[in-house]
Amino acid sequence: MAIVLPKTRKGENSRAAILNAALDLFRERGYEATTMRAIADLAGVSLGGSYHYFPSKEHLVLEFYRHTHELHLVAIAPLLAREKDLGSRLRGTVRAVVITCEPFHAVAGSIFSTVANPSSPLNPFGGAARPLREEVVALYAEVVKGSDARIPADIAEMLPLTLWLYQMAILYFWIFDRSPGRLRTLEVIDETTELIVRLLGLANLPVLRSSRKRILGLVRSVAGGSIA
């Protein structure tokens, strides 16, 4: 369900205050223990006012997804504008995901404990998250298309979705990473993006064509069975 919000400065300030209050309480109490009334009280708005902007806690989490995605887009725009090397584009894009999300690391675990449930309406693979998921997949299509890499058409078709799945795996690792500054996550990104680019380079070899078809078939099967 779309949220219709006023285009006033006061309305945007109230919306931001509610989201910030929700994130603070999710971090302090956990997602399940936080109520909309507590969020409204902390934000300094009425309960009815909070429901005007966000009809449920689920809408607040979807707004959190949207907020971090928009921060990510701003962060990587200069990189994608100047860089043509696929490895640099991919590594920079995925690094920017975790760097952008770092201020929310403490609250991310609380949210994930709820959204990881397949029955949760907030599941990243579910229907409620589909619009934003499609935007992220489209971003990875831009990452690939704007590079100078020569990628077979069948791989190029499935690669953006595969890279979104890869991003989800990186974020899962990041949530549990306790290394200083999440440096271990950044190391994993550097290692795995290099491996991905190398594998893409090998995909053109005739000897790997049959294996390529099997892998792509597996990705289609996983995507078709798990994504709404």
pLDDT digits (tens, 9 = 90+) for 110-122: 788 777 777 777 7
- What is the CATH code of the structural domain delimited by 57-226? 1.10.357.10
The Cβ-side half-sphere exposure at 148, using a 13 Å CA radius, reads: 6
pLDDT, position 4: 39
Angle among Cα 13, 14, 17 to the nearest 5 degrees reads 85
- What is the CATH code of the structural domain delimited by 1-55? 1.10.10.60
Q: Where in the chain is the domain with CATH 1.10.357.10?
A: 57-226
CA 30 to chain centre: 20
Q: Where in the chain is the domain with CATH 1.10.10.60?
A: 1-55
CA 40 to chain centre: 26
- Which residue, 121, 124, 113, 191, is CA-closest to 161? 124
Q: How many residues does the chain have?
A: 228
The two three-digit tokens of residue 124, written as one number: 């990243």
pLDDT < 50 positions in the chain: 1-6
pLDDT, position 228: 62
